[in-house]
Amino acid sequence: MHQKRWIALVAVVMTFGLVAAACGNDNESGSGSNATTTTGADTSGTLVGMHGTTPLGAQSKAFQDRLLKIDPELLDFNYASEAYDAVVITALAAEVAKTDGIDLAKQINGVTKDGTECTDFKSCDALVKAGTDIDYKDISTQDDFSGNGEPTKASYGILQFGTKGIYCEKKGFKTCIDESKTKYTNVEVPAAVASVPETPVEGTRPGDGVLKIGTLLPKTGSLAFLGPPEFAGVKLAIQDINDAGGVLGKDVEYVEGDSGDTDNKVAPTTVATLLSQNVDAIIGAASSSVTLSVIDTVINAGVVMFSPANTAVKLSTYPDKGLYFRTAPADILQGSVLADAIAKSGATSVYILALNDDYGTGLAKDLTTGLTSSGVEVLGQKIYDPKAADYSAEVSAAKDSGADAVALIGFDESSKILLKAAEQGMDLSTFWGVDGNMGNALAEAFDSGK
C-alpha cells in the first residue's frame, strides 16, 4: 500500500461530486457497545462519526451478493473488485497471447484499453476469439492501464462509521460502516504518468496450456481483515471464467496461499510453494511491504505478479521486468483524496499518526503534500511501531497538538490507538482513517475492546 518519481507529479485532476456532503462530522447517537478502555471507561458509540478513505468502486448489490455466496461470512468488500479484475484481466491476456506463459504479460495493459468495450470475461472472450481488440471495462476502475501496469483513473470511497449498516443488521455490531453515507470520488493520475511508455517484458517462461492462478493474500498478519474479500474476489472470477469455458479451452486452476505480513515472514515460503507448483500469475500481495520483500523472486521466475491492493508509489517505478501489475491506485492519489476530504470537513489543522513501514511513511508524505496544497496546516507527525505494547505517548502527542483532525494511517493496530484516544477523552469523529484500517473489522475490534 506507496513512492518515488510521482511525488513531483502531484498535479492530480479530481472530480469530487458529492464528497463535501460526506465530510462533515455528521455525528449520530446510537446504542454503542460494551467496549471499555483499560481504565474501565465505557467507549460505547465513540467510533461513530469517524471517516476515512479507501480505493472503492461503486459495487452493485448483485456483485456483493455473489461474493457473499462465495463467502457468507464476509465483513467487508474492500478490494474484492480489484482482486476479481486482476484475475479476469490476466485470463483475457492469456487468451489474447494464446499462452499461459510469460508472453501473457505483454497483453495485460492492452486488454484494458483501445478496443471494443466489454464488461465481463464471457463477452470479452467472445470478442477475442472473433479476432477483435478488446477494452475490458473492469469493475474497480473502469479505465485503462498506464504503461507501468496500473490504473490511470481510480474511484475512492469516503466511508463513515455509524450505527446503521449491513453488518450492524446481519452481525449484530453496535458500530459499523454506514453504506448510506458512503460517497465516491474519481481521480486521475497526471497525464505525464498516464502516458509513460510500456515496460518491456524481460525473460522467458513457456506455458503448459493450463492457466494456473496462485494467491499471496493475507490470512494472517496485520492485514488479515482484508484477506476474505480479496480471496472471494479471486474465487468468484475463476468461477465465472470456468463457467464461460475457461482459458485456452481448459479450466483455470487455483492454488491458495497466505501472504502474512513483514513480521511473520510467511510470504517467502508461500512464494516458493507457489512457484514450485508452476503458477502463471500470483495475485497479491495486499501489503506493499510484503510485495517488495518477494517481488524479485517472482519476476525472476518469469511469473506475473498482480496486486489488488498495493498502493505504494515506490512500486510505480520499480524495475519489474514488465511483470508487475496492480488494480489498486498509488497512494499519491489517496493522499490527495484524503487531504481534500479533510479540508472540505472544515478542519484547518491536522496531526498525522502513521505506522512505520513503506505504506505508512509513504502515505504520510503524500498526505502532507496534499494537506499543504489544500491550505491545511500539519501540526505534527508520529511514525509509530505497529507492534508497540502501548500507544499512550503517540495519542497524547496528537491530543496535545490541538489539531482539528487526526489522520490515522495504520493496519489492525488502529483499534488499539483509537481505544487509547477514547480513554484520553478525544473525539473520534475527528479521526480520519485509510484503506489499511477503514472497515467493519475495525469496528468489530474496537467494540470488543481489542
Q: Tell me the pLDDT of the chain (450 aa) as tens digits.
A: 443 333 333 333 333 232 333 333 333 333 333 455 554 555 555 899 999 999 887 788 899 999 999 999 888 888 999 999 999 999 999 999 999 999 999 999 999 999 999 999 999 999 999 999 999 988 876 678 999 999 988 889 999 999 999 888 888 888 999 999 999 888 888 777 778 889 999 999 999 999 999 999 999 998 898 999 999 999 999 999 999 999 999 999 999 999 999 999 999 999 999 999 999 999 999 999 999 999 999 999 999 999 999 988 889 999 999 999 999 988 878 999 999 999 999 999 999 999 998 889 999 999 999 999 999 999 999 999 999 999 999 999 999 999 999 999 999 999 999 999 999 999 999 999 999 999 998 998 898 888
User: What's the pLDDT score for residue 194?
Assistant: 79
User: What's the pLDDT score for residue 331?
Assistant: 83
The residue assigned the cell 520483500 is 293
Cβ 350 vs Cβ 316: under 8 Å: no
- The closest of 194, 115, 114 to 154, measured between CA atoms, is 194
- The two beta strands, 377-384 and 324-326, are unpaired
Phi/psi-derived region of residue 57, left when phi > 0, alpha when psi is between -120 and 50, beta in every other case:
beta
User: What's the pLDDT score for residue 260?
Assistant: 96
Q: Can you tell me the distance from the alpha carbon of 60 to that of 367, in angstroms, rounded to the nearest whole number? A: 30
Cβ 297 vs Cβ 321: under 8 Å: no
Sign of the CA dihedral running 404, 359, 181, 448: negative
User: What's the pLDDT score for residue 24?
Assistant: 35
- The closest of 366, 408, 404 to 384, measured between CA atoms, is 408
User: What's the pLDDT score for residue 20?
Assistant: 31
User: What's the pLDDT score for residue 38?
Assistant: 52
Q: Which domains does the chain have, with CATH numbers?
A: 5-59+153-188+332-447 (3.40.50.2300), 80-140+195-327 (3.40.50.2300)
Dihedral, 138, 140, 145, 148 alpha carbons, nearest 10: -140
User: What's the pLDDT score for residue 80?
Assistant: 94
User: What's the pLDDT score for residue 187?
Assistant: 87
All three cell numbers of 249, joined, read: 479451452
Cβ 303 vs Cβ 281: under 8 Å: yes
Residues composing the chain:
450
Residue type, 297: T
Q: Can you tell me the distance from the alpha carbon of 120 to that of 244, in angstroms, rounded to the nearest whole number? A: 10
